Amino acid sequence: MMESGPVGGIIASAKVGLGLDFPNVISFDMGGTTAKTSLVRDGETTMSEGYHVGGYANGDPVMLPVVDVVEVGAGGGSIAWIDEMGALKVGPQSSGADPGPICYGQGGDEPTITDANVLLGRIGATDFLGGEMELDHDAAVRIIEEKLAKPLGLTTMEAARAIVEISLAKMSLAVREVSVEKGYDPRDFALFASGGAGPLHAVAIARDLHIPTVVIPRFPAHFSALGMLMADERHDFTRTYFAPLNGLDFDLLMEIHKETKGEADKVIGDLPQIDYQIQLDLRYVGQEFTLSVPSMKPSSGPATRWPSARPSTICMNCAMAITPPMNRWNWSAFPWCGPTGSMWAPKARAMARGSRLPIPGWKDCSSISSKSIGRVS
């Protein structure tokens, strides 16, 4: 169940995005310790052929098909600190759930992103969790001033703003990594914000990358749970076949395809309407990593479409992913939800314009308590 929570949010972003006519979305999930992002194209999640548990630098590699996720150490509990050169840093250390941020009043004594947001007024100290949990604004101010503002020669407001600015820069780079660095223009996507802290920072990130639309679901902290309920069952099969692409033995390749399909059919049994996705893992001569190129085997007829052959291209693997049909949710069974899953439709579509943080002359906006909105039991 590696990264099952964030991946659930990505799947929910893909499914809900299709329902809102946003087939191309960037999922952004910010929790208490990290922020994670992934790109969805045409309603399909982006896959990767490997993952490092614990991070790329020091983690353990797992060579399995996984949803491609980029994460950075910037969550609500990420600690702000000063390094040996006197520079302000944020994360990857985190206060976690226990003791948590200073403002939670549970013994935390390190300034965090949440504390900075409370100090800036971006999180209401008296109406947190609909007023059920009052935050210690004064303690956050005192420790940020003591540990950061005075050593840096800043006011407490400037120190808090710097904490949020640094965290936004880190998260913007993560979103850039899944989009710009892979050849996609973020302006062609909508940003789906989930997680407990995602909606608070999403518009500023969208503004940095000129993403035109930010979608905030009604229950962003529960969005990953929804995605796990909506996730498809999927099985992946891979066979190694090493050969130059312009010299492929297509009869042998078709035989590999038939054998792989036979293995898949044994796993899932006799089910109708199974979705088969066939790909060839290709690379250029001298290239270290492969690229998965979709191929197509029609359900009837002998014709098969393969990637065009180039003398410098090598085939490494023949892969097949199968998705059997699943029972879908009957949204009409939930009277508080509506026939189209409107419970999860966004409560706000914020255009990414305006200033990212309070500036001189900014005005307070009234907040709405969850008690005045009503609850779902």
DSSP string, 338-360: TTTTGGGSEEEEEES-S-SS--T
Q: Write the pLDDT tens digit of every residue in 65-104.
A: 777 788 888 989 999 999 999 999 998 888 888 888 999 9
Going by the DSSP 8-state scheme, the letter that residue 328 receives in this structure is P
Distance CA 242, CA 234 (A): 25
4-74+167-231+344-351: CATH number:
3.30.420.40
Cα(96)–Cα(76) distance, integer angstroms: 9
Do 74 and 34 form a contact (C-beta atoms < 8 A)? yes
Tens of pLDDT, residues 312-361: 666 666 676 766 665 555 544 444 444 444 444 444 333 333 334 444 44
Domain boundaries defined on the chain: 4-74+167-231+344-351, 84-164, 235-323
Report, in this order, helix, strand and coil percent for the chain, each rounded to 5. Answer: 35, 25, 40
Structure tokens at 256: 């590999």
Q: What gap in Å lies between CA 119 and CA 160, rounded to an integer?
A: 7
Q: Specify which residues 279 forms β-bridges with.
A: 294, 319
Q: Does the pLDDT of residue 24 top 50, yes or no?
A: yes
Q: CA-to-CA distance for 25 and 44, rounded, in angstroms? A: 10
Q: How far apart are CA 341 and CA 193, in angstroms?
A: 18
Distances (CA, A) of 363 to 207, 316, 349, 357: 20, 59, 21, 11
Res 192: pLDDT: 92
Residue among 147, 167, 165, 169 at smallest CA distance from 156: 147
The pLDDT score that the predictor gives to residue 328 is 56
| 376: its two tokens | 């779902």
